[in-house]
Amino acid sequence: MSPVSSLAKTLIRPEILALHAYHVPDCAGLIKLDAMENPYLVPQPLRDEIASVVAAAHINRYPDPNPHALKEQIRLLLELPEGMDVLLGNGSDELIQLLAMAVNKPGAVLLSVEPSFVMYKMIATFIGMRYVGVPLRTNSGPSDFSLDLISTLDAIHREQPALIFLAYPNNPTGNLFSHDDVRRIIDAAPGLVVIDEAYYAFASDSFVPQLTHYPNLLVMRTFSKLGMAGLRLGFLVGSSVWLEQLEKLRLPYNVGVLPQLVAEKLLENHGVLLQQADQIKLDRAALYQQLVSMAGVEVYSSEANFLLFRVANATAVFNGLKQRGVLIKNLNGGHPMLNNCLRVTVGTPEENELFISALQDTIHQTV
Ligand code: PMP
């Protein structure tokens, strides 16, 4: 062992040494349907406007540490009531970390369900917080991956979590949990409940209107899935009492000059982004129908911009798709409930067609 690696082994915390870094595959030359991105750029005239805003930006200066105009745009879009505030993050990943750091007293627990967004558990590990994952239900049929309310309430009573994350819709399963079950969880929780609405633009329900009813509720969203993944902009909304405390942990310049300006410009044209989301929802329905009718594929219904499906040999199918130029996400081996599962992001109609024909071809070859 080299002197550097032996020093690293002594210095770095064992739980960090045991982690695998978040893997981002090389996508050069591939149709990219692996990361829940919006496949569309905004129209050229709007891109030209963005170009002039960027050209005039004062990138020699630090960003505005508290961008009022951008936060006001978000307040208006969400119709936030008085007493509610907005906290901006460098992606919502950063907000998960701020929340966990804020409540991580000795012995504190972060609770979520499984399978769900992997960063809840990873961030708990990063900061040395205890993580509890309650399995979702796996009965086959429409209740697949629904909340197991009884086990979740039991775990809440037993573990008294300081922080609960529920992705609504859930990633990587795509389903929206029962609204009433989520309410029961918020009622029972002794600590904060964060409803992670990363996929809100594609879903039929939201907890934003419930913010005034529950003192322990916060809603987190991101613009990543709406066409701004490259900007890294997430936000948390809820009572200013909570956000004032979290604000103290936020690094002063976490959202750069360019993301602030470009997001403002895009949100002035929010309708364009929502139209794209509507198109994606239509294409999701078409893609779902094609997968449902395909032999050897079991597809789950989704309220997000991706579909989860199961095949006989997910890794072979994943590799076969890649050889045919299509990159999706292989979830096999990530969690026992996701054995032989793959996740495809809804792309443009042309990309979806290419994916379907590559999938047909691959499944045909692998059986
Ligand atoms: N929450 C959920 C449920 C997600 O799926 C993702 C991204 N995959 C995020 C949060 C993080 O999004 P971002 O950091 O891009 O805002």
**pLDDT 10s digits, 322-360:** 999 999 999 999 899 999 999 999 999 999 999 999 999
Atom of ligand 1 nearest to the CA of 223: 16
List the chain residues with pLDDT less than 50.
none
Q: How far apart are CA 238 and CA 72, in angstroms?
A: 14
Q: Which domains does the chain have, with CATH numbers?
A: 3-43+271-366 (3.90.1150.10), 78-251 (3.40.640.10)
The predicted structure's pLDDT at residue 365: 86
DSSP for 295-322, please give it: TT-EE---SSSEEEEE-S-HHHHHHHHH
Alpha helices, DSSP H only, in 222-311? 240-247, 257-268, 270-292
- Within a 10 A sphere around the Cβ of 66, how many other Cβ atoms? 12
Ligand 1 pocket: which of 23, 34, 38, 117 to mutate (most atoms <8 Å of CB)? 117
The predicted structure's pLDDT at residue 25: 86
Q: Are 272 and 228 in contact (CB under 8 A)?
A: no
Ligand 1 pocket: which of 224, 225, 302 to mutate (most atoms <8 Å of CB)? 224
Is this model's pTM higher than 0.85 or not? yes
Helix axis angle, 349-366 relative to 314-323, nearest 10°? Answer: 120
Atom of ligand 1 nearest to the CA of 172: 5
Task: Report which protein residue has its CA nearest ligand 1's atom 5.
Answer: 171
The predicted structure's pLDDT at residue 3: 87
- Enumerate the β-bridge partners of residue 250: none
Which residues line the pocket of ligand 1, CB cutoff 6 A? 36, 91-93, 117, 167, 171, 196, 198, 222, 224, 234
Q: How far is the CA of 293 from the centre of ligand 1 (A)?
A: 30
Q: Which of 367, 320, 315, 304 is nearest to 340 (CA)?
A: 315
Q: Are 332 and 282 in contact (CB under 8 A)?
A: no
- Within a 10 A sphere around the Cβ of 164, how many other Cβ atoms? 28
Q: Which of 199, 235, 240, 241 is nearest to 219 (CA)?
A: 235
Q: How far apart are CA 58 and CA 337, in angstroms?
A: 49
Q: How far is the CA of 198 from the centre of ligand 1 (A)?
A: 6
The predicted structure's pLDDT at residue 140: 61
The predicted structure's pLDDT at residue 143: 61
- Within a 10 A sphere around the Cβ of 130, how many other Cβ atoms? 16
Q: Are 236 and 95 in contact (CB under 8 A)?
A: yes
Within 8 A by CB and 6+ apart from 249, the residues are 98, 101, 102
Q: How far is the CA of 1 from the centre of ligand 1 (A)?
A: 37
The predicted structure's pLDDT at residue 142: 56
Q: How far is the CA of 92 from the centre of ligand 1 (A)?
A: 6
Structure-block tokens of residue 237? 């909304």
Q: How far is the CA of 93 from the centre of ligand 1 (A)?
A: 6
Give the strand order in the sheet containing 192-196: 84-89, 234-239, 217-222, 192-196, 163-167, 109-114, 130-135
